[in-house]
């Protein structure tokens, strides 16, 4: 009937349809507004999800970059330590073993470090341990995969040395502090601040000519020597093997305390 009326009276039908449309327009407008709001909320939600995903990705990339930054800094520090080792060139007849400091050790010796190289790498008791700056100490104990380094600063450390300028012999003793003591100088021998101290090689314990330190102060209480190497900053060292047998090896049946004292 509507179709027939529309054909017979198109003008009247259009007016009626316009009136109906006007009547429902407010309803459609009211209904469409929440739909637009919902559509906007959905769009904002998608945007937030995308931003959250991008933020997670950026955080992961940041963490990865920080990790690589840490690796780069460690490599830079290791390269610096290795370059410092190259400053000292040992004699051609010496075998060397590079080792890393992996910890501090206590016990009877107050100033010792643990190295990650032992008998399997060719490390033996009594060998000199150096850096590019000079002598660090000597190997005190040896295991298969690790060894104990007795620092010059240890109270039990005694190293035969000489004053480089005057060739006067003496002994450098540890004090468990930051400086060493120069002992057993001949009578009337002189030492002045700034004199270099090197190993003398006497006693067959250490090779001659290894830099030890510099005279820091001369007073009535004694002669203080500032070592070239700061043991608190050690990371990588070199163990020198000159084939010297001045340090006795521990044998079964020996008294450990006597062996240590040697």
The answer to whether residue 248 scores a pLDDT higher than 90 is no
pLDDT at 123: 92
Residue 41 vs residue 223, higher pLDDT: 223
Answer yes or no: CATH 3.30.450.40 is held by domain 93-246.
no
Residues whose CB falls within 8 Å of the CB of residue 214, separated by 6 or more in sequence, listed in order: 194, 195, 196, 197, 225, 226, 228
**226, 197 Cβ separation under 8 angstroms:** no
Give the pLDDT band (50/70/90) at residue 37.
Answer: low
Listed range (4-13, 89-98, 131-140) with the worst mean pLDDT: 4-13
Domain assignments of the chain as residue spans, ordered by start: 9-84, 93-246
| pLDDT the model gives residue 207 | 83
pLDDT digits (tens, 9 = 90+) for 151-167: 999 998 999 999 988 89
Q: Please count the other Cβ atoms lying within 10 Å of the Cβ belonging to residue 56.
A: 10
Q: What is the pLDDT of residues 62-118, one digit of tens each?
A: 878 877 777 777 666 666 665 665 565 555 556 788 898 998 865 555 788 999 999
Query: What integer best gives the mean pLDDT of the chain?
Result: 78
Nearest to 161 by CA among 54, 152, 97: 152
pLDDT in tens, 185-211: 988 888 899 999 999 988 777 888 889
Query: Tell me, what's the pLDDT at 255?
Result: 43
Percent of the chain with pLDDT over 90: 28
Query: How far is residue 123's CA from residue 125's CA, in Å, rounded to a whole number?
Result: 7
Please tell me the distance from the alpha carbon of residue 50 to that of residue 46, in angstroms, as a whole number: 6
Which one is predicted more confidently, 243 or 233? 233
């Amino acid at each position: 009937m509507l179709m027939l009326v529309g054909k017979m009276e198109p003008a009247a039908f259009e007016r009626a349809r316009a009136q109906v449309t006007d009547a429902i327009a407010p309803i459609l407008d009211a209904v469409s507004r929440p739909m637009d709001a919902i559509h906007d909320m959905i769009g904002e939600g998608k945007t937030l999800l995308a931003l959250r995903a991008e933020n997670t990705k950026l955080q992961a990339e940041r963490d990865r970059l920080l990790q690589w930054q840490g690796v780069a800094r460690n490599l830079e520090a290791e390269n610096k330590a290795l370059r410092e080792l190259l400053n000292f060139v040992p004699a051609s007849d010496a075998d060397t073993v590079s080792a890393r400091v992996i910890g501090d050790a206590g016990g009877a010796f107050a100033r010792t470090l643990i190295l990650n190289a032992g008998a399997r790498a060719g490390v033996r008791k009594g060998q000199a341990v150096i850096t590019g700056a000079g002598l660090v100490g000597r190997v005190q104990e040896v295991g298969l995969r690790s060894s104990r380094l007795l620092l010059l600063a240890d109270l039990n450390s005694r190293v035969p040395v000489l004053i480089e300028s005057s060739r006067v012999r003496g002994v450098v003793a540890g004090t468990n502090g930051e400086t060493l003591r120069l002992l057993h100088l001949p009578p009337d021998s002189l030492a002045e601040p700034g004199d270099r101290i090197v190993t003398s090689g006497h006693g067959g314990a250490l090779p001659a000519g290894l830099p030890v330190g510099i005279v820091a102060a001369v007073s009535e209480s004694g002669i203080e020597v500032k070592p070239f190497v700061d043991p608190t900053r050690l990371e990588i060292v070199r163990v020198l093997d000159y084939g010297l047998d001045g340090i006795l090896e521990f044998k079964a049946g020996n008294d450990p305390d006597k062996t240590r004292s040697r």
